[in-house]
Amino acid sequence: MAGRAHSLDMTALFARRERDCYELYGRHGNEQLVRMLKTVGYDVGFCRSEGQYLFDRNGTRYLDLLSGFGVFAIGQNHPAVRAALRSVLDSDLPNLIQMDAPRLAAILADRLLKEVPYLDKAFFANSGGEAVEAAMKFGRASTGRPGIVYCDHAFHGVSYGALSINGGESFRSGFAPFLPDCIRIPFNDLSALENELIVGNVAAFIVEPIQGKGVNIPAVGYPQGAAELCRRYGALFIADEIQTGLGRTGRFLAVEHWNVEPDIVLIAKALSGGYVPVSAVLLRKRIFDKVYDSMDRAMVAVSTFAENNLAMAAGIATLEVLASERLVERAAKTGDRLMHAFSEMIPRYELVHEVRGKGMMIAIDFARPRSFKLRTEWDLIEAVREGLFGQVITIPLFADHKILCQVAGTNSHAVKFLPPLIISDADCEWIINSVEAVIAASHHVPGAAWSLGKTLVSNSLRI
Ligand SMILES: Cc1ncc(COP(=O)(O)O)c(C=O)c1O
């Protein structure tokens, strides 16, 4: 009996398995992930997280600029969200009745739609990918057309519908066949979009306002032009704001930068408060009503856990935190500071090609250098695997400067930063000084950076 009670204490259970956690996870789960973590030295055994910080088994503090792929906009373990969740756990609120109108879902929908007043309805789901699937279904059912147009390099998830409109080959490889009538076009190409729309069989165009893979920024006039073309040809304009939404780019939704009002907006990630998975499809009533068009079809699109109390409470509390801590404005200001500091490195470091981003979604893009010595080193590692150079930056950022970040995508030379929106001035200094130190070191030949590059090459060849 005592043993059973002990196994319910998650903190004690977590602490007890510290030593063999990687072995256990590798044995029963993703062994390749464990191999990769060990190879790049990320197997530090994180034990605690608070706000923007992670702490490893030795108590060393790290700054998390990956944010769980954009989940931790308000930081990890935010006390206000925790209190909201506790209030649900400590209550006997009715949950998942299914044959009732879930009250917390109604409240969250109301609050979300106040932020996006041109839309009328909210459909909740459990993950970003599930929201994408729902949007595709809403698009097809409401227009009676099959086509879904999406962009090269797009990332909308990896479930079958979402994968069918994923613009990255590395995610699709091995999983064909995909859904029919999904049409890929280049990002930032309005004529390619019009060429597809003009045919008259396109239900929707789905696009990330800023592409997460690569942090690709829309060209001047692209979001407005795409929305206008969709309207002209009777297709829906779907903005996938799963990564860019909820303040990430310095506006509540990224589309606000371009004054675009999509027919459907998708949000997820940050809405969870970092605690409970949740996603939302915000849309126009006329689209929603085409799917739920009779009492018989009141449950035509449902998901068992979608409106559970904990997820709804996490969403409500996260919106409160975003507003009370003025995090959208803060993201714009802090993001400007980081962008400015990174941009100043371009003329000083020949490997730095471009700095892209908005708010707290930023990439430093590196490119083949001009000078002979650097170019030779670059070619050596890039010949083995395109994009390997990014790790010459991310690994020392982690090992020497205790900053967690990642490259912006497969074969990408861009290093991406998705900081929690709450980071302080001192954190900014930490980031700017560390990034500059690592970039400066990468310009020394011979040097530690390129020795690391050679180690990465031999590891790559061993895979
Ligand atoms: C823009 C975008 N859409 C959809 C998804 C898929 O979300 P999930 O991983 O929750 O299914 C992601 C995840 O990274 C994303 O960035």
pLDDT at 193 (0 to 100): 98
Phi, psi of 356 (to 5 degrees): -125, 155
Please, what is the Cα angle at 179 between 149 and 240, to 5 degrees?
45
pLDDT at 7 (0 to 100): 72
Render pLDDT for 133-171 as a digit per residue (tens, 0 to 9).
999 999 999 999 999 999 999 999 999 999 999 999 999
Query: Which residues are near ligand 1 (CB < 6 Å)?
Result: 69, 127-129, 132, 155-157, 208, 212, 240, 242-243, 268
Render pLDDT for 251-293 as a digit per residue (tens, 0 to 9).
999 999 999 999 999 999 999 999 999 999 999 999 999 999 9
Type of residue found at 442: S
Q: Take atom 8 of ligand 1 and give the residue whose Cα is closest.
A: 128
pLDDT at 459 (0 to 100): 82
Chain CA centroid to CA 289, Å: 30
Q: Take atom 7 of ligand 1 and give the residue whose Cα is closest.
A: 128
Report the residue among 160, 243, 279 best suited for mutation to probe ligand 1: largest number of ligand atoms under 8 A from its CB. 243
Render pLDDT for 361-394 as a digit per residue (tens, 0 to 9).
999 999 999 999 999 999 999 999 899 999 999 9
Q: Which of 14-23, 100-109, 208-217, 425-434 has the lowest mean pLDDT?
A: 14-23
Report the residue among 130, 156, 171, 267 best suited for mutation to probe ligand 1: largest number of ligand atoms under 8 A from its CB. 156
ω into 177 cis (within 30 of 0): yes
* Rounded percentage of the chain residues whose pLDDT exceeds 70: 98
Distance 231 CA to ligand 1 centre (A): 26
Active site residues: 155, 240, 269
Work out the pLDDT band at 410, boundaries 50, 70, 90: confident
pLDDT at 53 (0 to 100): 98
Strands laid side by side in the 361-366 sheet: 352-358, 361-366, 414-417, 406-407
* Residues 352 and 127 sit within 8 Å (Cβ to Cβ): no
* Rounded percentage of the chain residues whose pLDDT exceeds 90: 93
pLDDT at 1 (0 to 100): 44
CA distance 185 to 151: 5
| 157 Ramachandran zone, left/alpha/beta (phi>0; psi -120 to 50) | left
Distance 130 CA to ligand 1 centre (A): 9
DSSP string covering 137-169:
HHHHHHH---EEEEETT----SSHHHHHT---H
Spell out the residues 6+ positions from residue 141 whose beta carbon is closer than 8 angstroms to its own: 290, 291
Q: Take atom 13 of ligand 1 and give the residue whose Cα is closest.
A: 157
pLDDT at 155 (0 to 100): 98
CA distance 275 to 269: 10
Q: Take atom 10 of ligand 1 and give the residue whose Cα is closest.
A: 128
3-class SS of residue 121: strand
